[in-house]
Amino acid sequence: MHVMIIGAVGMLGKKLASVIAKTRQCNGQSVTRLTLVDIAVAETPENPAFPIESLAFDLSHTDTAPLLTKRRPDIIFHLAAIVSGEAENDFEKGYAINLDGTRHLFEAIRRERDRNGNAADYRPRVVFTSSIAVFGGPYPDTISDTFFRTPQTSYGTQKAIGELLLEDYTRRGFMDGVGLRLPTICIRPGLPNKAASGFFSSILREPLVGQPATLPVEDTVRHWHASPRAAVRFLLHAGTMDSSRLGHRRTLNMPGLSATVAEQVEALRTVAGNDAIALIRREPNPDIAAIIAAWPQDFTADRATDLGFRAERSFEDIIAVHIEDELGATSA
């Protein structure tokens, strides 16, 4: 089986590629070839057990996607996107990458099917990472998969259109699409990025290694989270699941954990003590607060759970995953 990861330099792309390269599987199915794609060349493991190709392409360019689909991967993980804050600040860039790049890919898949005159010749599984930002208020207490999509940011709008395209191209038989509305991934490793939600990770990540962090919103802010480890499991499961069980609703709310900032902080206190808490500096940022206020706070993920997707049940668990995976230790 040939797997392609578009957005392979990003945090989730790197982790997904590492798991596939190490296990030589995608959720139990054997992988014989892996192609990594991003705007820069992704690092590849030394002495891999199967061919791994790393390509530098910009998916927003119209000629890129056909070069990828002619390789005919069996599974395409479409992770390429710019994050929420950057998409809001740079309108043209957000639409070029998050929307146009997605449309170029889906259209290239459709045209690749027709290239040899055989409509049944190519129909890959496409796993598209969407976002809870597709929803807009006013919100009920919890959001289901069927809650209407009325995004209140450019990023959410771009992801919502991507979901609709995924459903239509799947309905027409051009591909086998599965959309995942990811929770905010926490704790993200590495340096802070331009995501409006980045502080949810930084208020835990930095204090865990003795560094200060800035908190731009009130402690009462509630949000929906899952760890990077859980997100990679979501992707792998979506790559090989029985998609016929999705029917025409191809995008799922992923499981996660609804928690307030105060609950995050208390989990950090439990794991790392008061010295870590003292490193959190409260510096209100109205722009970030406004973006976060437009996002829903709690979800039902019954469909995804019934289909075998799983996430953490407490923030102590999320912190423990970060310590084990990124800091080389355990919280115990």
Task: Report, as residue numbers or ranges, the catalytic residues.
Answer: 155
Q: Are 55 and 97 within 8 A, CB to CB?
A: no
Tokens encoding 303: 């469909």
In DSSP terms, 253 is beta-bridged to 181
Tokens encoding 268: 């950090």
Where is 33: in which H helix or E strand?
A: strand 33-38
In DSSP terms, 116 is beta-bridged to none
Whole-angstrom distance, CA of residue 38 vs CA of residue 54: 8
Closest CA to 307 of 258, 257, 247: 247
Where are the alpha helices (H) located in the chain, listed in sequence order?
A: 11-23, 64-69, 84-89, 91-94, 101-115, 154-171, 199-208, 228-240, 261-272, 274-277, 286-293, 302-306, 315-326
